[in-house]
């Protein structure tokens, strides 16, 4: 599971209901975008944003089990916005690279599914973060889902508080 938020990015590796590893990075689309695209979106700015994002994930790629994922579920509005821009239900490195070359692709402000509109710099920053993550970690496909990681965390905390047993039933937010 991955989540590119506004101010941070999280990567969670697990099996079933068991969380094996959580990595958090102090960069998100809202922080990354303005840092590189404040003066506008250009190829040079995107290349710099991508290089910066790659450096953030390079150490994570060295951890056991963090490379070569067949798929990752992405719980963020940023990734859902990129999937909508790409016109695809899932994203891979080739589709993300194509989106980089699409006129206005990474820079189009949009509102996906009634969500808060993402600004051009934020979308371009999110694209750089996701592409770097997919390439550095060798993720074959990214599948956007509606839920945020926070929904799963809140459910888990509530279940622990109530003493409820964990259930493997899918959450409606993840459909």
The DSSP code for 13 is E
pLDDT digits (tens, 9 = 90+) for 51-83: 999 998 888 877 777 788 888 889 888 888 899
User: Which residue in 3, 147, 52 sits closest to 13, CA to CA?
Assistant: 3
pLDDT at 105: 45
Structure confidence at residue 175 as a pLDDT band (50, 70, 90): very low
Render pLDDT for 108-149 as a digit per residue (tens, 0 to 9).
Answer: 433 333 344 458 888 899 999 999 999 999 999 999 987 655
Nearest to 40 by CA among 121, 127, 106, 130: 121
pLDDT of residue 65: 75
Instruction: Give the range among 10-19, 91-100, 149-158 with minimum mean pLDDT.
Output: 149-158
Per-residue burial over 81-103, b if 16 or more Cβ lie within 10 Å, else e, is bbbbbbeeeebbbebbeebbeee
pLDDT on residue 23? 85
Provide mean pLDDT across the span 12-16. Answer: 78
Rounded to an integer, what distance in angstroms lies between the CA atom of residue 166 and that of residue 163? 9
The packing angle between helices 77-86 and 120-137, to 10°, is: 90
Q: What is the mean pLDDT of residues 35-61?
A: 88
How many CB atoms neighbour CB 163 within 10 A?
6
Say which CATH architecture domain 2-174 belongs to: 2-Layer Sandwich (3.30)
Q: What is the pTM of this model?
A: 0.77
Contacts of 18 (CB under 8 A, 6+ apart): none
The mean of the pLDDT values for the chain is 77
The residue written with tokens 């934020």 in the block is 122
């Amino acid at each position: 599971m991955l989540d590119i938020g506004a101010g941070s990015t999280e990567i969670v590796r697990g099996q079933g209901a068991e969380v094996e590893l959580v990595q958090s990075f102090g960069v998100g689309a809202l922080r990354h975008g303005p840092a590189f695209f404040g003066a506008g979106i250009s190829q040079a700015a995107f290349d710099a944003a991508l290089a910066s994002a790659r450096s953030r994930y390079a150490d994570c790629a060295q951890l056991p089990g963090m490379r070569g994922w067949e798929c990752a579920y992405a719980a963020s509005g940023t990734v859902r916005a990129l999937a909508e821009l790409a016109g695809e239900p899932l994203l891979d490195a080739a589709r993300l690279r194509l989106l980089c070359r699409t006129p206005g692709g990474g820079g189009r402000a949009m509102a996906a599914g009634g969500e808060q509109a993402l600004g051009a710099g934020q979308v371009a920053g999110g694209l750089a973060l996701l592409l770097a993550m997919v390439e550095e970690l060798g993720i074959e496909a990214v599948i956007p889902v509606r839920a945020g990681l926070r929904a799963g965390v809140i459910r888990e905390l509530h279940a622990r508080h109530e003493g409820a047993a964990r259930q493997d039933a899918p959450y409606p937010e993840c459909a």
